[in-house]
Structure 1
Amino acid sequence: MATTKTVKQSRPRRARDSLSREIIVAAAEAVVQRDGLDRLTFQAIGEELDAHPTSIYRHFRDKDELLLELIDTLRARSYAGAMIATDDWMADLRAQAHLIHDHYMRYPEFALQMALRRPTDFKSMEFSIGALRRGGYGPEESALYARALGQLIRSATSIQAALEALPDEVRDADELTWQMDYRRLDLAEYPNIAWVGENLPGIRDPRAWETALELLLESIERRAPRNAAEGA
């Protein structure tokens, strides 16, 4: 009895000169969105593009260089045309904070890598310092407060984004464990936690981030030399 063999049809490889940095970065984003950051390799990108992995080295030295380019591309997409100075310097700082927060939450897989400094991030710092300068702050305080604000936004949002990047079942189990652990605490040993009871926000409650941001912004506004001069 004759047997029939199925011959797998392979698609022709993409021509080496048909690749570009933009095409490779787009393919890298597709791989991460579908398979996760841990699966991002030149081999995976090559399969995504029907190209030999070695052809990617003509455009990027290694995965780290590619990842930096991808992160900067995502930032530019989120920030493009959004940071525009207005007459209200505090409103500008608040809008910038939410813009950065929303960007992290849009791409949670890259939360930790986004701490790396890139040209788009420099523009963000320029915007923060400009707003503080319009509030009457001098060079030293403008630089310090811009850095403090940036660190708060990125650190708090990174925690939120890292949770969002988890599989749904893991994230839900973590939230439930958080709630149950607090309910099981010894009331005599932790009387203050017992006192707040159900008022304690969950680990994914966005109010914690929003409250931290507002507390810092209110402090910056209250200390502003411009406001002090107007109230004198």
Structure 2
Amino acid sequence: MGTSSDRSAKSAARGRGRRARDSLSRAIILEAAEKIATSEGLESLTFQALGKELEAHPTSIYRHFRDKDELVLELIDSLRSRSYGGTLKKSDSWRDDLRSSARHIHEHYLRYPQFAFQMAARTTRRPMEFSNVEFALDALLRAGLSPEDAALQLRVFGNIVRGLSSMEASLLALDPEIRTRDELAWEVEYRQLSQEEYPHISSMAGQLAHIGDPRIFDLAIELYLDAIELRASRTRVTPAEPEP
């Protein structure tokens, strides 16, 4: 039969292995979720993994999040808020505002490449998303677009920014050895192609930009802004002259 001190030690060990039920919060769970997803990937983010990380029973997490999908959407929006929350300030230039929004989002994707696909594809329906949409719509309307066209261009602008950003971020999320091979292809293999079979590639091989070249994203945004300005100038209604 064990002594009272033995029983006390075992009881203390059990106590250290399980977090108090009321000590969890959404913020604590999100922090643990980010840690797991960043180090092991989103596919490894389960309530079981969270329970192990937090030393809590997995069912206790359901008191704060209905399911994994709600948790992921909350995590995406909280990461956005941390990256550039409060930095989108309206200026006198709609072009500067859309450019600033695009660059903040692009930098955010590169900061969290493991979440690129989810960030590009999902609608979080949360404060930072609402704020981003309101900011972009205001800029598009100030560019001179009609409400109908601005609503359509909001989707085009978002797709361009998220599409390019997620492509670059996905490259960063690749295994380092694979990523290096892909990047070196533009420096080595393209330069070795036959001039007879690929005359344009052969003559311009030294000028071809790789996927992560920062000039690509900036150029795409400037081309889009030019197109919006041209579109607005073509559709802007000229006030009718008063009758004599």
**Same topology, TM > 0.5:** yes
Bigger radius of gyration:
2
Residue 30 of structure 1 aligns with an amino acid whose one-letter code is K
Residue 79 of structure 2 aligns with an amino acid whose one-letter code is L
- Match of 2:99? 94
Point out where structure 2 has 5 or more consecutive residues left out of the alignment.
1-9, 239-244
- Please tell me whether residue 127 in structure 1 is matched to residue 132 in structure 2: no
- Match of 1:34? 39
Distance 1:74 1:161 in 2: 15
Residue 209 of structure 1 aligns to a residue whose secondary structure is helix
Query: Normalization by structure 1: what TM-score?
Result: 0.87
The percent of aligned pairs where both chains have the same amino acid is 52
Point out where structure 1 has 5 or more consecutive residues left out of the alignment.
1-6
Which of 106, 111, 115 is 1:110 aligned to?
115
- Match of 2:162? 154
Closer, same or farther: CA 17–219 of 1 in aligned 2, 3 Å: same
Which of 195, 207, 230 is 1:199 aligned to?
207
Which of 46, 54, 58 is 2:51 aligned to?
46
Structure 1 stretches of 4+ with a deviation exceeding 4 A read 226-230
Distance 1:86 1:49 in 2: 44
2:145 touches 2:235 (CA, 8 Å); kept in 1?
no
- Please tell me whether residue 168 in structure 1 is matched to residue 176 in structure 2: yes
Q: Following TM superposition, by how much is the alpha carbon of 1:46 offset from its aligned partner in structure 2, in angstroms?
A: 1.3
1:178 touches 1:203 (CA, 8 Å); kept in 2?
no
Worse-matched range after superposition: 180-189 or 36-45: 180-189
Residue 83 of structure 1 aligns to a residue whose secondary structure is coil
Distance 2:44 2:184 in 1: 29
Query: Normalization by structure 2: what TM-score?
Result: 0.83
Matching of residues 133-148 of structure 1 within 5 Å? 133-148=141-156
Q: How many residues align?
A: 223
2:141 touches 2:150 (CA, 8 Å); kept in 1?
yes
